[in-house]
Structure 1
């Protein structure tokens, strides 16, 4: 037994709009939710969404009177809306055609002097070969980057900065050791042992 095919969203819109055109009356949402399934086969759960979509597109009018919200649509307005939409689409089509014509003219102009011939084909082949050769040379140069004088000088500068920073901390540690010896009458060997300072600890050169 085959399953019943569902109604598409566009078909629901068409059916509900036809309902309003046929009735040419004013309805509250609850009334449309009752009429939709009965007369047009549109399930009541989807009526609200369909009607709201038609309102957003300007195909269905709505107004609030007191606490009640009413919906209506007349064929004359629907024809006007469709005619306006059609005019907009035709204008867009004309603009796209003009744009296409302009692009085609630009392509034709750009193609002048680029016609395929033996000379141009050979030039393109030579260009591709030169690009490959350049890529190979760039890779070769990259291997020797560490020998670049500028790179070496930058490394030396960084090393000097690091040594100066390390010696500043070394100087601070020596000053603290001297302060501890004076303040607490501690032996230097005791301080070194207590704080894990090796015998070889000294300034860097």
Structure 2
């Protein structure tokens, strides 16, 4: 039983080896065909060297661009939008605070200092309106 299982696994491995060998020979044949289709010439060598330099330059430029990523116009615009949204949110909050403060002081006669203490508003609070 165990010997039979080992034999089956061995047969499977041999079959996959044959498949891999066939793929390898096909790839080698296609490489040879491509080599024949692209003969080495001085023009080709010059073009390949030019391509290599261009790729290297692109890599260097991408590294340099990454250094200045904080100055990217898209990121700067995104930060500006975030600042505007934060300011609008703070204005809404302070507006709500001002409305609440005036309502309670007028309607219920509550002392503004007590209300600030109850709401947890610190002494250094500044109204940005």
Q: Secondary structure at the match of 2:123?
A: coil
Compared CA separation, residues 199 and 96, structure 1 to 2 (3 A): closer
Displacement of 1:97: 5.2
RMSD over equivalenced CA pairs, Å: 3.5
Q: Deviations along 1:86-129, whole A, 9 cap, x unmatched?
A: xx67x937655544442332121122244444443332222221
List runs of 5+ in structure 2 lacking aligned partners: none
Separation of aligned partners in 2, 1:101 and 1:148: 50
Displacement of 1:164: 0.9
Match of residue 198 from structure 1: 123
The equivalent position to 2:30 in structure 1, one of 93, 103, 106, is 106
Displacement of 1:163: 0.9
The equivalent position to 1:172 in structure 2, one of 83, 87, 96, is 96
More strand as a share of residues: 1
Q: TM-score, normalised by structure 1?
A: 0.45
More helix as a share of residues: 2
The equivalent position to 2:2 in structure 1, one of 47, 53, 70, is 53
Tell which has more relative contact order, 1 or 2 (C-alpha 8 A, sep 6+): 2
Q: TM-score, normalised by structure 2?
A: 0.64
Number of residue pairs aligned between Structure 1 and Structure 2: 124
